[in-house]
Amino acid sequence: MVELDCTTARPGGVTLVAVRLDNRVDAPGVDAHRIRLVSAIDGATWPPRVQGVPAAPWDGDAAEVVVPTGRVGSLGFASPEPPADPPVTIESVEPAAASSRGDAVADDVGDDPTADDVLRVLGDPSPPRDAVAPPSVSVESSGSAVEAGAEPDVISGDSSP
């Protein structure tokens, strides 16, 4: 069986849930199990985010974690709603391959990736906020309007508004 050890806290009106999964399934020859957990909190689930998209195990209010037999896995999430007891329930436990494909990107992307998986694993290419000029403010100067912070139009070379 899989033993769950859950702790919850609610600082600042947000419920934080930490889950420890102890894989004690007695299954000779099975290296690992894919354990699917569902939040039991009645309300929104806020999974951890990587590169702006939900972390790999998450799919809505459920998450799948592969834990080697005899080992311990972990999971955490948040919710704006009050905690439930227990905060998660196990939906399924199935045998899974513990072996990797020997490539970090391949392992992270998975066998059937989505565009969000690609974004999370490879990284968001968007320029940082500080690199982007603030919204334009028209300033009258020497009789001509100048947009403070406006990016130049590199095609025509014309930076006037």
Partner 1 sequence: MILAVVGGKGGVGKSTVSLNVADALDGVVVDADLGMADLPYGPGPDLHDVLADRADVIEAVRECSGADTGPEVDVLPCGRTLAGARAADPTALVRALERVDEHYGPVVVDCPAGMAADAGLPLYAAESCLLVTTPDGVAVPDALRTRALARVLDAGVERVVLNRARDPPVERVERTLGAPVTVVPEHEAVDRARTDGLSVIAAAPESVPAERFREIGAALQ
- Enumerate binding residues for partner 1 (CB under 8 A): 51, 53, 103, 105-106, 109, 113, 115-116, 118-119, 121-127, 129, 131-133, 151, 153-155
Q: Residue 121 CB, nearest distance to partner 1 (Å)?
A: 8
Cβ proximity to partner 1: between 25 and 150 the closer is: 150
Q: Residue 2 CB, nearest distance to partner 1 (Å)?
A: 30
Cβ proximity to partner 1: between 12 and 157 the closer is: 157
Q: Residue 96 CB, nearest distance to partner 1 (Å)?
A: 20
Q: Residue 109 CB, nearest distance to partner 1 (Å)?
A: 6
Cβ proximity to partner 1: between 43 and 123 the closer is: 123
Cβ proximity to partner 1: between 85 and 103 the closer is: 103
Say if CB 124 and CB 71 are below 8 A apart. no
Cβ proximity to partner 1: between 5 and 107 the closer is: 107
Secondary structure of the chain as H, E, C letters: CEEEEEEEECHHHCEEEEEEEEECCCCCCCCEEEEEEEECCCCCCECCEECCEECCCEECCEEEEEEECCCEEEEEEEECCCCCCCCEEEEEEEEECCCCCCCHHHHHHCCCCCHHHHHHHHCCCCCCHHHCCCCCEEEEECCEEEEECCCCCCCCCCCCC
Token representation of residue 69: 């037999």
Q: Residue 160 CB, nearest distance to partner 1 (Å)?
A: 15
